[in-house]
Amino acid sequence: MAREQRSKGQEYLKQGNTDPDAANQHPHYLLDRLPHIHRPTKEELLAAATGFWHRLGIRFKWFSIRSGRPFNTDEIGAFVSWVFIGHVIWIIVGTTTFFSIAIFTLNTVFAQETLAGWVGNYLTKSSGVKVVFESAIVPKWGDGVITFRNVFVSRRPGQGKANVTKGSSTSAAAAAAAARKKENGEAEEQEDTNYTQYDISIDTINVTLSFTKWFNGKGPLRDVDMKGVRGVVDRTSVQPSDPSIDPRSYRHEHNTGDFEIDSFKLEDLLVTVYQPNNFRPFSVSIYSCELPRLRKQFLFYDLMSANMMSGSFDDSLFTIHPRQAHNHTGIRFDDQSDEAIWKKHSRIRVDGLKIDHLNRGVEGPFSWIHEGNVDIVADIMFPNDEDGSIAKVMSDFYDRMEATVSHGYLHTTHQHDTSDHHEKPEVKDASEADRFIIMDLRVHMNDVRAAVPIFTRDLSYVNNALIRPIVAYINSKRTFIPVNCRVVKRISEFDGSWTIFDSGLLEDLSREVESTPTYEAFARDIVDGKARTRRLKKVGLWTIQLAAQALFIGLAGQLA
Protein backbone atom coordinates (compact mmCIF):
# COMPACT_ATOMS: atom_id res chain seq x y z
CA MET A 1 0.00 0.00 0.00
CA ALA A 2 2.83 2.44 0.89
CA ARG A 3 4.65 1.54 -2.32
CA GLU A 4 1.53 2.38 -4.35
CA GLN A 5 1.15 5.69 -2.53
CA ARG A 6 4.84 6.64 -3.26
CA SER A 7 4.39 5.72 -6.91
CA LYS A 8 1.30 7.93 -7.09
CA GLY A 9 3.30 10.83 -5.59
CA GLN A 10 6.06 10.35 -8.13
CA GLU A 11 3.51 10.31 -10.92
CA TYR A 12 2.16 13.57 -9.52
CA LEU A 13 5.64 15.12 -9.91
CA LYS A 14 6.09 13.67 -13.38
CA GLN A 15 2.87 15.33 -14.58
CA GLY A 16 4.65 18.70 -14.48
CA ASN A 17 4.08 19.65 -10.88
CA THR A 18 7.59 20.53 -9.75
CA ASP A 19 6.60 21.81 -6.30
CA PRO A 20 7.76 19.19 -3.76
CA ASP A 21 5.62 20.75 -0.98
CA ALA A 22 2.49 20.28 -3.10
CA ALA A 23 3.49 16.68 -3.62
CA ASN A 24 3.90 16.25 0.12
CA GLN A 25 0.39 17.69 0.67
CA HIS A 26 -1.21 15.14 -1.64
CA PRO A 27 -3.62 12.87 0.39
CA HIS A 28 -1.98 9.65 -0.75
CA TYR A 29 1.40 11.02 0.24
CA LEU A 30 0.07 12.04 3.68
CA LEU A 31 -1.39 8.58 4.30
CA ASP A 32 2.00 7.13 3.54
CA ARG A 33 3.59 9.23 6.32
CA LEU A 34 0.90 8.41 8.99
CA PRO A 35 1.78 5.74 11.55
CA HIS A 36 0.01 2.35 11.33
CA ILE A 37 -3.16 2.30 13.58
CA HIS A 38 -3.96 -1.04 15.24
CA ARG A 39 -7.70 -1.93 15.26
CA PRO A 40 -8.62 -3.44 18.65
CA THR A 41 -10.13 -6.91 18.60
CA LYS A 42 -13.12 -8.16 20.56
CA GLU A 43 -10.93 -9.86 23.14
CA GLU A 44 -8.92 -6.69 23.73
CA LEU A 45 -12.08 -4.62 24.22
CA LEU A 46 -13.49 -7.17 26.67
CA ALA A 47 -10.20 -7.26 28.55
CA ALA A 48 -10.31 -3.47 28.94
CA ALA A 49 -13.93 -3.49 30.15
CA THR A 50 -14.60 -2.45 33.76
CA GLY A 51 -17.86 -4.21 34.54
CA PHE A 52 -20.71 -6.47 33.47
CA TRP A 53 -22.74 -3.80 31.69
CA HIS A 54 -19.66 -2.50 29.92
CA ARG A 55 -18.84 -5.99 28.63
CA LEU A 56 -22.49 -6.49 27.63
CA GLY A 57 -22.39 -3.25 25.62
CA ILE A 58 -19.18 -4.30 23.90
CA ARG A 59 -20.62 -7.69 22.99
CA PHE A 60 -23.78 -6.07 21.59
CA LYS A 61 -21.81 -3.54 19.53
CA TRP A 62 -19.52 -6.23 18.20
CA PHE A 63 -22.53 -8.38 17.29
CA SER A 64 -24.33 -5.51 15.54
CA ILE A 65 -21.63 -3.34 13.92
CA ARG A 66 -18.38 -5.31 14.48
CA SER A 67 -16.78 -2.35 16.25
CA GLY A 68 -16.60 -0.57 19.58
CA ARG A 69 -17.34 2.91 18.29
CA PRO A 70 -20.58 4.77 19.17
CA PHE A 71 -23.68 4.21 17.06
CA ASN A 72 -24.38 6.74 14.33
CA THR A 73 -27.78 8.06 13.25
CA ASP A 74 -28.33 5.51 10.50
CA GLU A 75 -27.63 2.60 12.80
CA ILE A 76 -29.95 3.94 15.51
CA GLY A 77 -32.72 4.36 12.91
CA ALA A 78 -32.17 0.80 11.72
CA PHE A 79 -32.45 -0.51 15.30
CA VAL A 80 -35.69 1.40 15.88
CA SER A 81 -37.14 0.10 12.61
CA TRP A 82 -36.25 -3.50 13.46
CA VAL A 83 -37.78 -3.17 16.93
CA PHE A 84 -40.97 -1.71 15.48
CA ILE A 85 -41.25 -4.36 12.76
CA GLY A 86 -40.53 -7.10 15.29
CA HIS A 87 -43.31 -5.90 17.58
CA VAL A 88 -45.74 -5.70 14.67
CA ILE A 89 -44.91 -9.28 13.66
CA TRP A 90 -45.23 -10.34 17.30
CA ILE A 91 -48.67 -8.75 17.60
CA ILE A 92 -49.86 -10.40 14.38
CA VAL A 93 -48.43 -13.87 15.03
CA GLY A 94 -48.64 -14.10 18.82
CA THR A 95 -51.43 -11.72 19.78
CA THR A 96 -52.33 -13.55 22.98
CA THR A 97 -48.71 -13.72 24.16
CA PHE A 98 -48.16 -10.03 23.46
CA PHE A 99 -51.25 -8.97 25.41
CA SER A 100 -50.40 -11.43 28.20
CA ILE A 101 -47.07 -9.66 28.72
CA ALA A 102 -48.82 -6.29 28.46
CA ILE A 103 -51.38 -7.35 31.08
CA PHE A 104 -48.65 -8.65 33.37
CA THR A 105 -46.78 -5.36 33.02
CA LEU A 106 -49.89 -3.25 33.65
CA ASN A 107 -50.81 -5.32 36.69
CA THR A 108 -47.32 -4.67 38.03
CA VAL A 109 -47.18 -0.95 37.29
CA PHE A 110 -50.80 0.09 37.86
CA ALA A 111 -53.49 -1.10 40.21
CA GLN A 112 -55.53 -4.11 39.20
CA GLU A 113 -58.71 -2.02 39.19
CA THR A 114 -57.27 0.15 36.41
CA LEU A 115 -56.78 -2.69 33.93
CA ALA A 116 -60.10 -4.30 34.88
CA GLY A 117 -61.83 -0.97 34.29
CA TRP A 118 -60.24 -0.52 30.87
CA VAL A 119 -61.22 -3.97 29.66
CA GLY A 120 -64.66 -3.70 31.21
CA ASN A 121 -65.32 -0.33 29.59
CA TYR A 122 -64.48 -1.83 26.21
CA LEU A 123 -66.85 -4.76 26.83
CA THR A 124 -69.58 -2.45 28.10
CA LYS A 125 -69.26 -0.16 25.11
CA SER A 126 -69.39 -3.05 22.65
CA SER A 127 -72.18 -5.02 24.35
CA GLY A 128 -74.18 -2.42 26.30
CA VAL A 129 -74.33 -4.41 29.56
CA LYS A 130 -72.85 -3.86 33.00
CA VAL A 131 -69.65 -5.82 33.66
CA VAL A 132 -68.05 -6.33 37.07
CA PHE A 133 -64.68 -8.02 37.67
CA GLU A 134 -64.24 -9.56 41.11
CA SER A 135 -60.68 -10.74 40.39
CA ALA A 136 -57.74 -9.47 38.42
CA ILE A 137 -57.19 -10.28 34.77
CA VAL A 138 -54.23 -12.64 34.68
CA PRO A 139 -52.43 -14.45 31.85
CA LYS A 140 -51.89 -18.21 32.01
CA TRP A 141 -48.52 -18.80 30.42
CA GLY A 142 -48.79 -22.60 30.32
CA ASP A 143 -52.08 -22.67 28.42
CA GLY A 144 -51.42 -19.55 26.35
CA VAL A 145 -54.71 -17.88 27.31
CA ILE A 146 -55.92 -14.82 29.18
CA THR A 147 -58.13 -15.67 32.15
CA PHE A 148 -61.03 -13.67 33.58
CA ARG A 149 -62.27 -14.94 36.95
CA ASN A 150 -65.52 -14.19 38.77
CA VAL A 151 -67.12 -12.01 36.13
CA PHE A 152 -70.59 -10.60 36.75
CA VAL A 153 -72.70 -9.45 33.79
CA SER A 154 -76.01 -7.66 34.25
CA ARG A 155 -78.58 -6.08 31.98
CA ARG A 156 -81.28 -4.23 33.87
CA PRO A 157 -83.24 -1.00 33.47
CA GLY A 158 -81.37 2.12 34.43
CA GLN A 159 -78.06 0.91 33.03
CA GLY A 160 -78.07 3.05 29.95
CA LYS A 161 -74.84 4.59 31.19
CA ALA A 162 -73.39 1.39 32.54
CA ASN A 163 -70.08 1.68 34.28
CA VAL A 164 -67.52 -0.99 34.93
CA THR A 165 -65.99 -1.66 38.30
CA LYS A 166 -64.00 -4.28 40.14
CA GLY A 167 -65.85 -5.69 43.13
CA SER A 168 -68.31 -8.34 44.18
CA SER A 169 -71.38 -9.49 42.30
CA THR A 170 -73.51 -8.76 45.39
CA SER A 171 -72.59 -5.09 45.32
CA ALA A 172 -73.20 -5.00 41.58
CA ALA A 173 -76.67 -6.52 41.98
CA ALA A 174 -77.45 -4.04 44.77
CA ALA A 175 -76.32 -1.15 42.58
CA ALA A 176 -78.50 -2.41 39.74
CA ALA A 177 -81.52 -2.69 42.06
CA ALA A 178 -80.92 0.81 43.44
CA ALA A 179 -80.66 2.21 39.94
CA ARG A 180 -83.93 0.52 39.03
CA LYS A 181 -85.72 1.98 42.07
CA LYS A 182 -84.34 5.39 41.28
CA GLU A 183 -85.51 5.06 37.70
CA ASN A 184 -88.98 4.02 38.84
CA GLY A 185 -89.16 7.00 41.20
CA GLU A 186 -88.34 9.51 38.51
CA ALA A 187 -91.14 9.93 36.00
CA GLU A 188 -89.26 12.37 33.82
CA GLU A 189 -87.78 9.83 31.44
CA GLN A 190 -89.24 6.36 31.00
CA GLU A 191 -86.94 3.67 29.64
CA ASP A 192 -88.14 0.96 27.29
CA THR A 193 -87.95 -2.33 29.23
CA ASN A 194 -89.33 -4.56 26.49
CA TYR A 195 -86.25 -6.77 26.37
CA THR A 196 -84.78 -9.79 28.12
CA GLN A 197 -83.05 -8.91 31.38
CA TYR A 198 -80.48 -11.04 33.15
CA ASP A 199 -77.97 -11.24 35.98
CA ILE A 200 -75.22 -13.73 35.17
CA SER A 201 -72.08 -14.66 37.09
CA ILE A 202 -69.27 -16.54 35.34
CA ASP A 203 -66.60 -18.39 37.27
CA THR A 204 -63.88 -18.57 34.58
CA ILE A 205 -63.45 -17.23 31.06
CA ASN A 206 -60.38 -18.21 29.04
CA VAL A 207 -59.83 -16.33 25.78
CA THR A 208 -57.20 -16.19 23.06
CA LEU A 209 -56.87 -13.13 20.86
CA SER A 210 -56.19 -12.68 17.16
CA PHE A 211 -54.97 -9.48 15.55
CA THR A 212 -55.86 -10.64 12.04
CA LYS A 213 -59.49 -11.27 13.01
CA TRP A 214 -59.74 -7.83 14.60
CA PHE A 215 -58.11 -6.22 11.56
CA ASN A 216 -60.64 -7.95 9.29
CA GLY A 217 -63.55 -6.61 11.37
CA LYS A 218 -64.44 -9.93 13.05
CA GLY A 219 -63.64 -9.01 16.63
CA PRO A 220 -60.46 -9.77 18.59
CA LEU A 221 -61.63 -13.10 20.07
CA ARG A 222 -60.40 -16.33 18.51
CA ASP A 223 -61.10 -19.04 21.14
CA VAL A 224 -63.40 -18.75 24.17
CA ASP A 225 -63.81 -21.24 27.02
CA MET A 226 -66.39 -20.54 29.75
CA LYS A 227 -66.99 -22.52 32.95
CA GLY A 228 -69.37 -22.15 35.86
CA VAL A 229 -72.24 -19.95 34.64
CA ARG A 230 -75.02 -19.17 37.11
CA GLY A 231 -77.78 -16.60 37.10
CA VAL A 232 -81.30 -15.52 36.28
CA VAL A 233 -82.88 -14.72 32.92
CA ASP A 234 -85.92 -12.50 33.41
CA ARG A 235 -88.35 -12.18 30.49
CA THR A 236 -91.39 -11.05 32.48
CA SER A 237 -91.14 -7.53 31.06
CA VAL A 238 -91.22 -8.73 27.44
CA GLN A 239 -94.47 -7.68 25.80
CA PRO A 240 -96.14 -9.74 23.05
CA SER A 241 -95.37 -8.39 19.62
CA ASP A 242 -97.88 -7.29 17.05
CA PRO A 243 -99.00 -10.34 15.00
CA SER A 244 -98.89 -8.24 11.85
CA ILE A 245 -95.14 -7.64 12.27
CA ASP A 246 -92.92 -10.05 10.39
CA PRO A 247 -90.63 -11.92 12.83
CA ARG A 248 -87.79 -11.53 10.33
CA SER A 249 -87.74 -7.80 11.01
CA TYR A 250 -86.14 -8.52 14.40
CA ARG A 251 -83.00 -9.93 12.83
CA HIS A 252 -79.64 -8.48 13.74
CA GLU A 253 -78.02 -6.09 11.30
CA HIS A 254 -74.36 -6.85 10.73
CA ASN A 255 -71.89 -4.33 12.11
CA THR A 256 -68.14 -4.16 11.73
CA GLY A 257 -66.56 -5.79 14.76
CA ASP A 258 -69.24 -8.43 15.38
CA PHE A 259 -67.48 -11.40 16.91
CA GLU A 260 -66.72 -14.53 14.90
CA ILE A 261 -65.20 -17.00 17.35
CA ASP A 262 -63.33 -19.94 15.84
CA SER A 263 -63.86 -22.25 18.83
CA PHE A 264 -66.35 -21.92 21.70
CA LYS A 265 -66.61 -24.23 24.71
CA LEU A 266 -69.05 -24.02 27.60
CA GLU A 267 -69.28 -26.14 30.73
CA ASP A 268 -71.54 -26.14 33.79
CA LEU A 269 -74.28 -23.63 32.98
CA LEU A 270 -77.39 -23.34 35.15
CA VAL A 271 -79.85 -20.46 34.85
CA THR A 272 -83.43 -19.91 35.95
CA VAL A 273 -85.79 -18.52 33.33
CA TYR A 274 -88.84 -16.39 34.17
CA GLN A 275 -91.37 -16.12 31.35
CA PRO A 276 -94.15 -13.53 30.94
CA ASN A 277 -97.87 -14.10 31.57
CA ASN A 278 -97.23 -15.78 34.94
CA PHE A 279 -95.68 -18.86 33.38
CA ARG A 280 -93.95 -21.08 35.90
CA PRO A 281 -90.18 -20.56 36.37
CA PHE A 282 -87.99 -23.33 35.03
CA SER A 283 -84.29 -24.09 34.88
CA VAL A 284 -82.04 -24.50 31.86
CA SER A 285 -78.76 -26.39 32.16
CA ILE A 286 -75.90 -27.05 29.77
CA TYR A 287 -73.49 -29.67 31.02
CA SER A 288 -71.02 -29.37 28.17
CA CYS A 289 -71.03 -27.64 24.81
CA GLU A 290 -68.53 -27.47 21.97
CA LEU A 291 -69.07 -25.29 18.93
CA PRO A 292 -66.73 -25.27 15.92
CA ARG A 293 -67.50 -21.56 15.55
CA LEU A 294 -69.82 -18.96 17.01
CA ARG A 295 -70.75 -15.91 14.97
CA LYS A 296 -72.90 -13.05 16.13
CA GLN A 297 -74.54 -12.79 12.72
CA PHE A 298 -75.41 -16.54 12.59
CA LEU A 299 -75.90 -17.20 16.30
CA PHE A 300 -78.87 -19.58 16.08
CA TYR A 301 -77.44 -21.48 13.12
CA ASP A 302 -74.09 -22.02 14.86
CA LEU A 303 -75.86 -23.28 17.99
CA MET A 304 -77.74 -25.85 15.91
CA SER A 305 -74.54 -26.99 14.20
CA ALA A 306 -72.71 -27.70 17.47
CA ASN A 307 -70.30 -30.59 17.52
CA MET A 308 -71.66 -31.68 20.87
CA MET A 309 -74.10 -30.25 23.40
CA SER A 310 -75.86 -31.86 26.35
CA GLY A 311 -78.11 -30.34 28.98
CA SER A 312 -81.63 -30.10 30.29
CA PHE A 313 -84.56 -27.80 29.61
CA ASP A 314 -87.15 -27.78 32.41
CA ASP A 315 -85.89 -31.19 33.61
CA SER A 316 -86.06 -32.58 30.05
CA LEU A 317 -82.75 -33.86 28.74
CA PHE A 318 -81.58 -32.67 25.32
CA THR A 319 -78.52 -33.52 23.26
CA ILE A 320 -76.93 -32.43 20.01
CA HIS A 321 -74.51 -34.95 18.56
CA PRO A 322 -73.39 -36.34 15.18
CA ARG A 323 -75.91 -38.68 13.65
CA GLN A 324 -74.81 -42.32 13.87
CA ALA A 325 -75.54 -45.01 11.30
CA HIS A 326 -74.36 -48.54 10.62
CA ASN A 327 -72.32 -47.63 7.55
CA HIS A 328 -68.90 -46.02 7.44
CA THR A 329 -69.73 -42.38 6.67
CA GLY A 330 -72.81 -42.02 8.83
CA ILE A 331 -75.14 -41.75 5.83
CA ARG A 332 -75.41 -43.53 2.52
CA PHE A 333 -74.77 -41.45 -0.56
CA ASP A 334 -75.99 -42.38 -4.00
CA ASP A 335 -73.13 -40.59 -5.74
CA GLN A 336 -70.01 -38.67 -4.88
CA SER A 337 -71.64 -35.31 -5.61
CA ASP A 338 -73.68 -35.51 -2.40
CA GLU A 339 -70.51 -35.81 -0.34
CA ALA A 340 -69.41 -32.39 -1.60
CA ILE A 341 -72.78 -30.85 -0.71
CA TRP A 342 -73.26 -31.90 2.90
CA LYS A 343 -70.78 -30.95 5.60
CA LYS A 344 -72.17 -33.06 8.43
CA HIS A 345 -75.30 -34.71 9.80
CA SER A 346 -76.42 -33.88 13.33
CA ARG A 347 -79.22 -35.09 15.54
CA ILE A 348 -81.08 -32.94 18.05
CA ARG A 349 -82.97 -34.97 20.64
CA VAL A 350 -85.28 -33.73 23.40
CA ASP A 351 -86.86 -36.26 25.77
CA GLY A 352 -89.99 -35.67 27.82
CA LEU A 353 -90.49 -31.97 27.11
CA LYS A 354 -93.65 -30.62 28.74
CA ILE A 355 -96.10 -29.72 26.04
CA ASP A 356 -97.00 -26.33 27.49
CA HIS A 357 -93.65 -25.02 26.24
CA LEU A 358 -94.81 -25.66 22.68
CA ASN A 359 -98.46 -24.66 22.67
CA ARG A 360 -98.23 -21.67 25.02
CA GLY A 361 -99.75 -18.71 23.22
CA VAL A 362 -100.57 -20.80 20.13
CA GLU A 363 -104.01 -20.79 18.54
CA GLY A 364 -105.58 -23.76 16.81
CA PRO A 365 -106.05 -27.48 17.51
CA PHE A 366 -102.57 -27.78 18.98
CA SER A 367 -103.52 -25.34 21.74
CA TRP A 368 -106.31 -27.66 22.89
CA ILE A 369 -103.76 -30.03 24.42
CA HIS A 370 -103.29 -29.06 28.06
CA GLU A 371 -101.36 -32.03 29.42
CA GLY A 372 -98.68 -34.43 28.22
CA ASN A 373 -95.05 -34.48 27.13
CA VAL A 374 -93.28 -34.56 23.80
CA ASP A 375 -90.23 -36.41 22.49
CA ILE A 376 -88.53 -34.55 19.65
CA VAL A 377 -85.92 -36.01 17.30
CA ALA A 378 -84.58 -33.79 14.51
CA ASP A 379 -82.03 -35.02 11.97
CA ILE A 380 -80.37 -32.04 10.29
CA MET A 381 -78.11 -32.05 7.24
CA PHE A 382 -75.79 -29.04 7.10
CA PRO A 383 -74.24 -27.91 3.79
CA ASN A 384 -70.58 -27.23 3.21
CA ASP A 385 -69.23 -23.76 3.82
CA GLU A 386 -68.76 -21.30 1.02
CA ASP A 387 -65.50 -21.24 -0.86
CA GLY A 388 -63.15 -18.77 0.83
CA SER A 389 -60.52 -18.59 -1.91
CA ILE A 390 -59.10 -15.37 -3.30
CA ALA A 391 -60.93 -15.92 -6.58
CA LYS A 392 -64.24 -16.25 -4.74
CA VAL A 393 -63.60 -13.10 -2.70
CA MET A 394 -62.66 -11.09 -5.77
CA SER A 395 -65.69 -12.42 -7.62
CA ASP A 396 -68.02 -11.40 -4.78
CA PHE A 397 -66.38 -7.97 -4.62
CA TYR A 398 -66.83 -7.49 -8.36
CA ASP A 399 -70.47 -8.63 -8.22
CA ARG A 400 -71.26 -6.24 -5.37
CA MET A 401 -69.57 -3.33 -7.14
CA GLU A 402 -71.43 -4.10 -10.33
CA ALA A 403 -74.72 -4.34 -8.44
CA THR A 404 -74.07 -0.99 -6.75
CA VAL A 405 -73.23 0.74 -10.03
CA SER A 406 -76.22 -0.85 -11.77
CA HIS A 407 -78.51 0.19 -8.92
CA GLY A 408 -77.33 3.79 -9.18
CA TYR A 409 -77.79 3.78 -12.95
CA LEU A 410 -81.28 2.30 -12.71
CA HIS A 411 -82.20 4.80 -10.01
CA THR A 412 -81.11 7.65 -12.31
CA THR A 413 -83.00 6.34 -15.34
CA HIS A 414 -86.08 5.61 -13.24
CA GLN A 415 -86.55 9.33 -12.63
CA HIS A 416 -87.10 9.83 -16.38
CA ASP A 417 -89.16 6.68 -16.93
CA THR A 418 -92.92 7.21 -16.61
CA SER A 419 -94.01 3.80 -17.87
CA ASP A 420 -96.15 1.59 -15.65
CA HIS A 421 -94.11 -1.41 -14.57
CA HIS A 422 -93.61 -3.53 -11.46
CA GLU A 423 -90.35 -3.81 -9.60
CA LYS A 424 -88.62 -7.11 -10.16
CA PRO A 425 -87.65 -9.13 -7.11
CA GLU A 426 -84.03 -9.17 -6.10
CA VAL A 427 -82.11 -12.09 -7.49
CA LYS A 428 -79.65 -13.58 -5.02
CA ASP A 429 -76.39 -15.29 -5.72
CA ALA A 430 -76.86 -18.73 -7.20
CA SER A 431 -74.29 -20.29 -4.88
CA GLU A 432 -76.10 -18.88 -1.85
CA ALA A 433 -79.45 -20.13 -3.12
CA ASP A 434 -78.02 -23.64 -3.50
CA ARG A 435 -76.98 -23.83 0.16
CA PHE A 436 -79.78 -25.06 2.40
CA ILE A 437 -80.41 -27.33 5.36
CA ILE A 438 -82.78 -30.28 5.50
CA MET A 439 -84.47 -31.09 8.81
CA ASP A 440 -86.37 -34.34 9.30
CA LEU A 441 -88.50 -33.84 12.39
CA ARG A 442 -90.22 -36.56 14.40
CA VAL A 443 -92.51 -35.47 17.24
CA HIS A 444 -93.90 -38.11 19.60
CA MET A 445 -96.70 -36.89 21.85
CA ASN A 446 -97.08 -39.07 24.93
CA ASP A 447 -100.10 -39.34 27.23
CA VAL A 448 -101.70 -36.15 25.97
CA ARG A 449 -104.95 -34.75 27.30
CA ALA A 450 -107.00 -32.33 25.22
CA ALA A 451 -110.18 -30.30 25.50
CA VAL A 452 -112.09 -29.28 22.36
CA PRO A 453 -113.91 -25.94 22.66
CA ILE A 454 -117.63 -25.92 21.97
CA PHE A 455 -117.35 -23.33 19.22
CA THR A 456 -114.22 -23.05 17.10
CA ARG A 457 -113.35 -21.57 13.73
CA ASP A 458 -110.23 -23.69 13.30
CA LEU A 459 -112.12 -26.74 11.98
CA SER A 460 -114.98 -27.29 9.61
CA TYR A 461 -118.30 -28.72 10.78
CA VAL A 462 -117.46 -32.23 9.56
CA ASN A 463 -113.97 -32.27 11.06
CA ASN A 464 -115.34 -30.86 14.30
CA ALA A 465 -117.79 -33.75 14.50
CA LEU A 466 -115.08 -36.30 13.69
CA ILE A 467 -112.45 -35.07 16.13
CA ARG A 468 -114.59 -35.11 19.28
CA PRO A 469 -114.80 -38.92 19.62
CA ILE A 470 -111.10 -39.17 18.81
CA VAL A 471 -110.20 -36.69 21.57
CA ALA A 472 -112.52 -38.54 23.97
CA TYR A 473 -110.70 -41.79 23.18
CA ILE A 474 -107.29 -40.17 23.67
CA ASN A 475 -108.31 -38.75 27.04
CA SER A 476 -109.38 -42.19 28.24
CA LYS A 477 -106.29 -44.11 27.04
CA ARG A 478 -102.52 -43.85 27.33
CA THR A 479 -101.67 -42.92 23.78
CA PHE A 480 -98.57 -42.42 21.66
CA ILE A 481 -99.09 -40.07 18.73
CA PRO A 482 -96.28 -39.65 16.16
CA VAL A 483 -96.09 -36.63 13.85
CA ASN A 484 -93.42 -36.56 11.11
CA CYS A 485 -92.45 -33.74 8.77
CA ARG A 486 -89.55 -32.36 6.73
CA VAL A 487 -88.39 -28.74 6.54
CA VAL A 488 -86.04 -27.36 3.86
CA LYS A 489 -84.62 -23.91 4.58
CA ARG A 490 -81.99 -21.72 2.93
CA ILE A 491 -78.91 -20.69 4.87
CA SER A 492 -79.53 -17.05 3.97
CA GLU A 493 -82.69 -17.10 6.10
CA PHE A 494 -80.53 -17.61 9.21
CA ASP A 495 -78.54 -14.45 8.50
CA GLY A 496 -79.02 -12.23 11.55
CA SER A 497 -81.34 -14.63 13.41
CA TRP A 498 -80.72 -15.32 17.09
CA THR A 499 -83.80 -17.40 17.95
CA ILE A 500 -86.12 -19.95 16.37
CA PHE A 501 -88.69 -17.16 16.14
CA ASP A 502 -86.90 -14.57 14.00
CA SER A 503 -85.33 -17.24 11.77
CA GLY A 504 -88.79 -18.30 10.58
CA LEU A 505 -88.08 -21.92 11.51
CA LEU A 506 -90.92 -22.02 14.03
CA GLU A 507 -93.37 -20.82 11.39
CA ASP A 508 -92.10 -23.43 8.92
CA LEU A 509 -92.40 -26.22 11.49
CA SER A 510 -95.94 -25.17 12.38
CA ARG A 511 -96.91 -25.08 8.72
CA GLU A 512 -95.43 -28.53 8.04
CA VAL A 513 -97.07 -30.05 11.10
CA GLU A 514 -100.43 -28.52 10.21
CA SER A 515 -100.14 -29.81 6.63
CA THR A 516 -100.68 -33.29 8.09
CA PRO A 517 -103.79 -32.72 10.24
CA THR A 518 -103.39 -33.68 13.85
CA TYR A 519 -106.66 -35.54 13.97
CA GLU A 520 -105.41 -37.84 11.18
CA ALA A 521 -102.47 -38.77 13.40
CA PHE A 522 -104.94 -39.31 16.24
CA ALA A 523 -107.11 -41.55 14.06
CA ARG A 524 -104.07 -43.47 12.81
CA ASP A 525 -103.03 -44.06 16.40
CA ILE A 526 -106.50 -45.35 17.28
CA VAL A 527 -106.50 -47.74 14.31
CA ASP A 528 -103.05 -48.95 15.26
CA GLY A 529 -104.23 -49.40 18.83
CA LYS A 530 -107.20 -51.48 17.74
CA ALA A 531 -105.04 -53.62 15.47
CA ARG A 532 -102.58 -54.10 18.30
CA THR A 533 -105.42 -55.15 20.60
CA ARG A 534 -106.63 -57.71 18.06
CA ARG A 535 -103.13 -59.11 17.71
CA LEU A 536 -102.77 -59.38 21.47
CA LYS A 537 -106.10 -61.18 21.70
CA LYS A 538 -105.09 -63.63 18.98
CA VAL A 539 -101.72 -64.28 20.59
CA GLY A 540 -103.34 -64.68 24.00
CA LEU A 541 -105.94 -67.11 22.66
CA TRP A 542 -103.23 -69.13 20.89
CA THR A 543 -101.21 -69.24 24.11
CA ILE A 544 -104.21 -70.46 26.10
CA GLN A 545 -104.94 -73.16 23.52
CA LEU A 546 -101.32 -74.32 23.56
CA ALA A 547 -101.26 -74.43 27.37
CA ALA A 548 -104.55 -76.37 27.46
CA GLN A 549 -103.23 -78.92 24.98
CA ALA A 550 -100.07 -79.39 27.05
CA LEU A 551 -102.16 -79.79 30.19
CA PHE A 552 -104.46 -82.39 28.62
CA ILE A 553 -101.49 -84.32 27.21
CA GLY A 554 -99.92 -84.38 30.68
CA LEU A 555 -103.13 -85.55 32.31
CA ALA A 556 -103.54 -88.26 29.69
CA GLY A 557 -100.04 -89.51 30.43
CA GLN A 558 -100.73 -89.60 34.14
CA LEU A 559 -103.99 -91.51 33.70
CA ALA A 560 -102.35 -94.02 31.40
Same domain, 70 and 143: no
Q: What is the pLDDT of residue 175?
A: 60
| Angle (CA) 494 503 400, round 5° | 35
Same domain, 133 and 218: yes
Cα–Cα distance measured from residue 365 to residue 368, given in angstroms and rounded to the nearest whole number: 5
- The reply to whether 82 falls in a domain is yes
- The reply to whether 536 falls in a domain is no
- The reply to whether 303 falls in a domain is no
- What value does the mean pLDDT take over residues 344-348? 92
Q: What is the pLDDT of residues 169-223, one digit of tens each?
A: 555 556 656 655 555 555 445 667 788 899 999 999 898 888 888 888 888 889 9
Distance of CA 254 to the CA centre of its chain: 14
Out of 251-255, 340-344, 555-559, pick the least confident: 555-559
Same domain, 112 and 176: yes
Could you give the residue ranges of the DSSP H alpha helices within 110-218? 112-127, 169-185, 211-215
Which of 269, 178, 193, 192 minimizes the C-alpha distance to 235? 193
Same domain, 202 and 62: no
Same domain, 373 and 260: no
Write down which residue in 25, 58, 90 finishes a domain.
90
Task: Return the higher-pLDDT residue of 363 and 22.
Answer: 363
- The reply to whether 261 falls in a domain is yes
Cα–Cα distance measured from residue 117 to residue 138, given in angstroms and rounded to the nearest whole number: 14
- What value does the mean pLDDT take over residues 20-29? 54
Cα–Cα distance measured from residue 545 to residue 550, given in angstroms and rounded to the nearest whole number: 9
Over 90: is that where the pLDDT of 63 sits?
Answer: no
Same domain, 288 and 233: yes
Cα–Cα distance measured from residue 258 to residue 495, given in angstroms and rounded to the nearest whole number: 13
Q: How many domains does the chain have?
A: 3
Strands 342-354 and 369-383: antiparallel
- The reply to whether 247 falls in a domain is no
Write down which residue in 56, 90, 124 finishes a domain.
90
Same domain, 374 and 495: yes
- The reply to whether 159 falls in a domain is yes
Range of the domain at 282: 97-184+193-239+252-297
Same domain, 15 and 43: yes
Same domain, 86 and 101: no
Over 70: is that where the pLDDT of 253 sits?
Answer: yes
Q: What is the pLDDT of residue 426?
A: 45
| Angle (CA) 224 228 231, round 5° | 110
- This prediction's pTM: 0.68
Same domain, 150 and 78: no
Which of 330, 357, 324 minimizes the C-alpha distance to 342? 330
Task: List Cβ neighbours of 37 (8 Å cut-off, separation of 6 or more).
Answer: none
Cα–Cα distance measured from residue 123 to residue 164, given in angstroms and rounded to the nearest whole number: 9
Q: What is the pLDDT of residue 483?
A: 82
Same domain, 77 and 119: no
- The reply to whether 426 falls in a domain is no
Write down which residue in 39, 57, 90 finishes a domain.
90
Same domain, 57 and 118: no
- The reply to whether 13 falls in a domain is yes
